[in-house]
Amino acid sequence: MNNHYDQDFLIDYLHGALDSATDAALFTHLDACSECRAALDVEAAIGDALRSAARSEALEFPSMIKARVWDAVRRQKPTLLDRLRSPWGPAIAVPIAAVVALAAYFGTPVLRGGGTAPGIAASYYLDQHNAQATQNPLGPSVGPAVYTAEGTPATAASYIDTADAATLDNAQGAIR
């Protein structure tokens, strides 16, 4: 037989890397071709010798590697992100969050009421309410009317039982 498989095919065959059709064809060919079979045996012998040599001279894992690895790991400084992820993270994260919150509070006048936030004075609402209540005391858009024992409507101040003194004064001033 003059046709032979290239050594590279035999290497792939040994490593199970041929497609199934080629693998089957080569398998059949080997049965009839002593030359290819001998070449395959050579390749197989090299592989066996490599494995055998590797087994016979297998080295033990030196304990010093383990010690050096642990030493290196301990010496490495963790990043801030690492510290935040660690179980001690909250001990660091909470103070940082508090500082950020305080900075945001004091750095933003609106948050602490120091700025001139747009708004409408409370007296305006009281004036409006008083006017509506006078016109239609039972209207749905008006808050519950409160009547005194004498049957006369209470002043606007009667609604504001929880208001602070300043607001109350403002309200009474607005009604007057």
Partner 1 sequence: MGVPRKPIDPATPEASAFLEQAMDQYGKATYNFAYRLTGNEADARDLAQDAFIRVYRAWRSFQPGTSFLSWIYRIVTNLYRDELRRRKGRYQEEIPEDNAPQEYAGQRPLAVDPIEDYMGGQLGEPLAKALAQLSSEQRQVVVLADIEEYSYQEIADIMGCSIGTVRSRLHRARALLRRLVTRAQQEQR
Q: Which residues bind partner 1 (CB under 8 A)?
A: 2-9, 11-12, 15-17, 35, 38-39, 41-43, 45-47, 49-54, 56, 58-62, 64-66, 68-69, 72-74, 76, 78-79, 81-82, 85-88
State the nearest-atom distance from the C-beta of 97 to partner 1, in Å: 20
Cα torsion through 34, 35, 40, 45, rounded to 10: 90
State the nearest-atom distance from the C-beta of 27 to partner 1, in Å: 15
Q: Is the Cβ of residue 16 or residue 113 nearer to partner 1 in the bound state? A: 16
Distances in Å between the Cα of 26 and the Cα atoms of 6, 17, 41, 67 are 11, 12, 14, 51
Q: Is the Cβ of residue 46 or residue 121 nearer to partner 1 in the bound state? A: 46
Q: Is the Cβ of residue 61 or residue 165 nearer to partner 1 in the bound state? A: 61
The residue type found at 117 is A
Q: Is the Cβ of residue 87 or residue 140 nearer to partner 1 in the bound state? A: 87
Contacts of 18 by beta carbon, 8 Å cutoff, 6+ apart: 9, 12, 26
Pair 26, 13: CB distance under 8 Å: yes
